[in-house]
Structure 1
Amino acid sequence: MSTSEISPSKATLAERIASLSGYGPMSSVPQAQYRLDLIAKWPITSGARVLELGCGQGDTTLALAEAVGETGHVDAVDPGPLDYGSPKTLGQAHDTISAGPMGPRITWIQAEPLAFLSANPDAPRYDVAVLAHSLWYFSSPTLILETLRVLATRARRVCIAEWSLSCAEGGSGTTHILSVLAQAAMEVSKPVSESNVRTVVSPARIKDLAKQAGLVLQADSEALVTPGVGVHDGRWETEHAVRAQFAEEVEEFVKDDRQKGVIYALRDAVQTSLARVGGMKAVGTMDGWVAVFEGTE
């Protein structure tokens, strides 16, 4: 069954998770459903002790809290300042979730993931560590590798979800793919990036970094998850790539003419793709990629 074809029982759970979101009642049922679909691919059971790195406003955290049940717990780590984010800040979103029925199952931790892990070397091992759409926020592949190396010894399993840089043939997610590549090409020239797309790593690159870190890919654990039509990440990233400020930032931060030419070519490809799919409202979101890795003993 496609993730856009939600059964009544699934819809009820997605609606409940969405109603508890820090964005307010019924903020985005398709987004909640997408997070539930990701977690369904992972070995997260009732009573599990879970570490989530890069929790953001808690979209995946809520679904994880549902999965671990009343006897499990989620430590949710994010380095973002509590006044960061829109339409609600991280602090506001976390407070809203904490006040709800899932609150006792979650501990919010404001810290850099690697610093948090390094500061607690003797903490009990987690059953599962989760990085759900958070790797592109890391400042470099080197930092991802360093973090995965520590996770390999601190969690029995490491579950990763990230955008796949692929979509179904003829899918409107192509515009999303081009948009994030254009952003990534520009962001590397900034001394400090605050973009949603700071370090683009493909599934193949993630698997390579995980292998270097000592993590072992679990057989048959890779899968693609197609977001429902109400998941608008593709639209948001496309809006960012075509805005006038994007070109202004290219002129400000990119000094090499050849690199500048590549970025403008990618942006032109975004605009061409946008026209072909029929405008911004028709832009889709690329498939998500999930995998499970075994930690070291």
Structure 2
Amino acid sequence: MPIAIYALSDGLLPGALSFSRASSALYMGDSGVFVTAPPDAARFEHIADTGDIQGMLIEEEATNLVRHNSVFSNGIWSRSSFLATTGSMTAPDGVSHQCWSFGNGYVFQDFPTVSGEHYTTSIWIKANKSGTIGLRNLSATDSNESVAIDISAEWNRYQVTAAATSTTSRILLDNRANFGFGESGLEVCLWNAQVEAGFSASSPISTGATTASRAADVVGINGLEGIYDLRVVYASGHEDTFVSQVVANGYYPPYRTHSFRGSKSFVREHFEAPVRAAGKRSLPELYEA
């Protein structure tokens, strides 16, 4: 049996845990929109529809390489048959954003990458109807290397991951008929275009004239020292076991990239060491959802 349980279902960080983050960061709040947590404030992710707490969001540092990532009227975006409409839509951040008439064309932005490194491209899209358009998978050449995505009249986040093949890459939305798309009468609202190093999309990172970074969430267990067997159970249902871990103040299990709702990484549902091994002490259970 565990010697203690630290419950996080009320959205409060127990005194036995330390937490820090050197920057502000976005997370899904209980009102169903993304809100900003100030530096050093833990983020407790909620279900958008119900407001129920999902768990504590723990992420590594990430940088969004897309500039003016929600302002598609800015000159850094190249556009063809992509025209502003008179309409707007409330985006997942709770703010009204411009909508666009998307004809037989595209909208894109280029950015520097390291050839051979993996990056994940993501963007939130809501359309006036269901349809299929392309989301370019990094390549900056004028070729049909886009992934087909099925958009709808609901806000959804779309993401693709690939290794960069050059030092310049591109995020591009494609509705050109000669590349296999060409939805007619299409209007779209877009929010939070994001490209970051790694294999999954992390929480939204807003940018302006320059790229922007979110600092790492640093969580630590205080008051325990020794060697322990640990088991981590993620919100996705995945489990990891860490044997003979040397635990001291500030320790936390290694990160894994098991995803939550297909977009969030490092959300831990609970963390426990239920079995006492020879020569090792049982670690208190830590429930995070």
Please tell me the TM-score bracket, short chain as reference. Answer: under 0.3
Question: Which of the pair has the greater relative contact order for Cα pairs under 8 Å at 6+ separation?
Answer: 2
Greater percentage in strand: 2
Provide TM-score, normalisation by structure 2.
Answer: 0.25
Select the structure that is richer in helix.
1
Calculate the TM-score normalised by the size of structure 1: 0.25
